[in-house]
Copies of this chain bind each other. A is one copy, B any other.
Amino acid sequence: MGSDLGPSEVVAAAKLALDEFPDLSPLTLVGDEALLRQLAQEAGLAGHPKLAFFHASEVVTMGDKPLLALKRKKDSSMARAIELVKNGEAGAAISCGNTGCLVGAGILKLRTLDGMDRAALAAVIPRANGHFVILDAGANPEARPDHLVHNAIVGSHYYRLVFGVERPRIGLLTIGTEEGKGNTLVTETHEMLKRLGDLIHYLGPVEGFQLFADEVDVVVCDGFVGNICLKSWESLAKFFVTELKAGLLANPIRKTGALLVRGAFTELRDRVKPERYGGAPLLGLRGNLIKAHGSANRQALKNAIYDASEMIKTNLTRHIEADIARANDLIGLVAR
């Protein structure tokens, strides 16, 4: 039913996406149908051939607990959108809602792909000369080595889809890049990743100090480390901007200067704020699911809609499943 900015922002995003991308997959808005139809009419989208509506009477809130929400709010917009994917009526679902509920509902309703036990949330982060993707950003806090190997595969596919890089550089996040350093999970994962051969472009272990330099495209870690990193980076960026702002307003001369350089700050803020990026896909499921930021604006949501459309068109899940099967063979993993 929408981000913190409400359902009208979602409708505005639909309008932007439908206008900008003529080849976009058809779009279904899930939620309070009467309200959505009214907002669509106001946005000039009434009767648009690619726009449909699906009614859902409930909304999952930020305070809901994942399992309870799934049980008690069977007619939530989140649950209904995922069910459309499950039933083949939609190729992808996008939600700005409660991450825990979305991850839980996605895994329970869509289930993981053959050969995979866990799904991973992938987040796009700006760095020198572009972006990297870190995964898992929080879906699976207690990962096994094979889960991390799967993260490397799905991350590689996702980076290729979003940034058009044929062989993205994959790094395993650790401390100390000499082999054998890190922890048991990383050491075992590293041995498995080396066995994948040409399936991915595996660089080896990477350290925290390499992330924001242009050294690695896909950063593989467990959901505990990934979520802490992601949230602490947002916190640090906010701190940085706040401190700088205070410094720029400290005296009249600086205030004058600040006016002249304002554009540089706007550019940087736009570049580092998470709202800029469409969303974080939950990869490894039998269907496409994107978690958009809670405060996503129409631009961010438009990007998420475009990404979802590309996932459908490129058959992302099938390609992932094929590579997972090959990877499991190479690492000697027997399907359970």
User: Which residues of A line the B interface, CB within 8 A?
Assistant: 65, 100, 126-128, 138, 141-142, 173-176, 178, 181-184, 186, 207-213, 221, 223-225, 227-240, 242-244, 247-248, 250, 253-254, 256-261, 263-265, 267-268, 271-272
User: How often does this chain occur in the complex, in copies?
Assistant: 2
* Assembly CA distance A254 to B12 (angstroms): 34
Inter-subunit contact A176/B100 (CB<8 Å): yes
Chain B residue nearest to A227 (CB atoms) is: B175
Q: A232-B209, A240-B272 are in contact. Are A254 and B264 (CB under 8 A)?
A: yes
Given known A-B contacts A142-B184, A173-B228, A175-B228, A248 and B236 have beta carbons under 8 A apart: no
A-B contacts, 9 of them at CB < 8 A, read A173-B228, A208-B228, A212-B239, A213-B239, A233-B236, A244-B268, A247-B264, A254-B263, A254-B264
Residue in contact with A183 in the complex, picked from B224, B233, B240, B253, CB distance below 8 Å: B224
Residues of B within 8 A of A227 (CB): 175, 208
Nearest-CB distance from A145 to chain B (Å)? 15
Q: How far is the CB of A151 from chain B (nearest CB, A)?
A: 15
Closest chain B CB from A240 CB (angstroms): 6
Residue of B nearest to A267 (CB): B247
Q: What would 9 more interface pairs be, CB under 8 Å, given A175-B224, A232-B232, A257-B257?
A: A65-B178, A128-B239, A208-B232, A213-B235, A224-B225, A243-B272, A244-B268, A258-B261, A261-B261
Q: Is the interface of A mostly helix, strand, loop or mixed?
A: helix
Query: Chain B contacts of A232 at CB under 8 A?
Result: 208-209, 211-212, 229, 232-233
| Cross-chain contact A240 with B237 (CB below 8 angstroms) | yes
The listed residue (B126, B141, B182, B238) touching A212 by CB distance below 8 A is B238
Which of B209, B264, B265 interacts with A231 by CB under 8 Å?
B209
Expressed in whole angstroms, the minimum distance between the Cβ of A331 and any Cβ of chain B is: 22
CB distance from A246 to the nearest CB of B (A): 8
Residues of chain B contacted by A174 (CB below 8 angstroms): 224, 228
A128 pairs with B182, CB closer than 8 A? no
Given A236-B236, A257-B257, does the pair A230, B208 have CB atoms closer than 8 Å? Answer: yes
Question: Given the interface contacts A141-B182, A173-B228, A225-B228, does A254 sit within 8 Å of B260 by beta carbon?
Answer: yes
| Assembled-state Cα–Cα distance A271/B236 (Å) | 13
- Which residue of chain B is the closest to A245 with respect to CB atoms? B264
CA distance A209 to B137 in the complex (A): 14
CA distance A211 to B224 in the complex (A): 16
* Contact between A231 and B207, CB atoms less than 8 A apart: yes
> A47 to nearest B CB, angstroms?
43
Q: What is the minimal beta-carbon distance from A266 to any residue of chain B, in angstroms?
A: 9
Question: Which of B138, B221, B243, B265 interacts with A175 by CB under 8 Å?
Answer: B138
A221 contacts which chain B residues (CB < 8 A)? 228
Q: How far is the CB of A207 from chain B (nearest CB, A)?
A: 6
CB distance from A287 to the nearest CB of B (A): 25
Evaluate contact between B264 and A235: CB separation under 8 angstroms. no
Do residues A231 and B208 form an inter-chain contact, with CB atoms below 8 A?
A: yes
Which of B229, B239, B257 is within 8 Å of A228, CB to CB?
A: B229
Whole-angstrom distance from the CB of A249 to the nearest CB of chain B?
9
